[in-house]
Amino acid sequence: MSELKMMTQIGHSENIVNLLGACTTSGPLYLIFEYCPYGDLLNYLKSNRETFHKTWSDVIKDNTFTFYHNFNQEEKFRDRLVTSVSNCSYSGLLPTPDICDKSPYNWDMSSGHVELLQAEEMKYQNTRKYNEEDLNILTLEDLLSFSYQVAKGMEFLESKLCIHRDLAARNILISSGKVAKICDFGLARDVENDSNYVVKGNARLPVKWMSPESIFDGLYTIKSDVWSYGILLWEIFSLGVNPYPGMPVNANFYKLLQSGFKMDQPFYATDEIYFLMQSCWAFDPRKRPSFTELVSFLGYQISNTESELYQNSKNIIDSLYQDNSQ
């Protein structure tokens, strides 16, 4: 019953697995949660390793017709946006935005224009989402998106004074549209047969994901969740490799951790993302970033990546079709 009380107090957020209902009338307590069809993030990354592309160049070359069609749709949507806003006045409260990069909600429009653009944008985004899912493609953009979404979910939990204590890829579920949702916060878990949970005293603990203060002092705070988030980032950008590969949890492991040892940069992480991981692993909890700061940093990374990916991909497609037309 304590789990149900906690879940109802937390409320709903896009990036947590939300409680839909509960059966409390008789017998055992049953909780009903959102269905996430793609399972946990750890296995999702592992099963899609073969389809991962660090850049979109290879994706487009392998799926030229589909992506040509999608980019034509995107250009048509942007053309409709430009046409619509040409009849509207900008509020002038902010610097004039680049129409191709900004949402229509930044504009002062009549309600009719807003509703039209909302419908057009939703239709386009849904088409793009399901086309990408059908192709079963995993990209650097997806890894950044998962990282951002988990940080958003943790920012929400922090605002509700909820500490997760077991943040890891196995406890993130993937829903339709590649939406990442945090699960298993504050809930009892069967860890007896999971090798990730190591016996320490009378408990089985996910030691490789735990902060030094949690391991050595039994102290759990939102900053210890930030440490675990850094380990989760390492899992994401290694595409599901177990943290501290080849290192058993023993006395030597604990000594290394106390000495300030940090894992090497995972293969698919940029220098900026690895810097972020290292900041999460500051031995002093006070020096670790907040989840709000992590959200801001990753949002900036995604913004830059999306702009670059769109332009590079469009150039490749234009080049391919110019070659074919000659």
Q: Is 300 annotated as a binding residue?
A: no
Residue (of 38, 54, 312, 6) closest to 173 by Cα position = 38
Confidence at residue 251, expressed as pLDDT on a 0 to 100 scale: 96
Q: Is 63 annotated as a binding residue?
A: no
Active site residue 166: yes
Confidence at residue 204, expressed as pLDDT on a 0 to 100 scale: 72
* DSSP per-residue string spanning 289-311: PPHHHHHHHHHHHHHHHHHHHHH
Catalytic residue among 58, 62, 101, 166: 166
- For residue 189, count other CB atoms closer than 10 A to its CB: 12
pLDDT along the chain (326 residues), means of 10: 75 91 84 92 95 66 51 53 46 39 40 56 57 68 96 94 92 96 66 55 81 93 96 98 96 96 96 97 97 96 75 61 61
Confidence at residue 70, expressed as pLDDT on a 0 to 100 scale: 53
* pTM passes above 0.85: no
Residues in contact with 159: Cβ distance below 8 Å, sequence separation at least 6, in sequence order? none
Q: Is 197 annotated as a binding residue?
A: no
Q: Is 155 annotated as a binding residue?
A: no
Write down the residue that tokens 């909302």 correspond to: 118
For domain 38-43+138-299, give its CATH number from 3.40.50.300, 3.30.420.40, 3.40.50.2300, 1.10.510.10: 1.10.510.10
Q: Is 243 annotated as a binding residue?
A: no
Confidence at residue 311, expressed as pLDDT on a 0 to 100 scale: 62
Q: Is 34 annotated as a binding residue?
A: yes
Residue (of 47, 18, 4, 9) closest to 182 by Cα position = 18
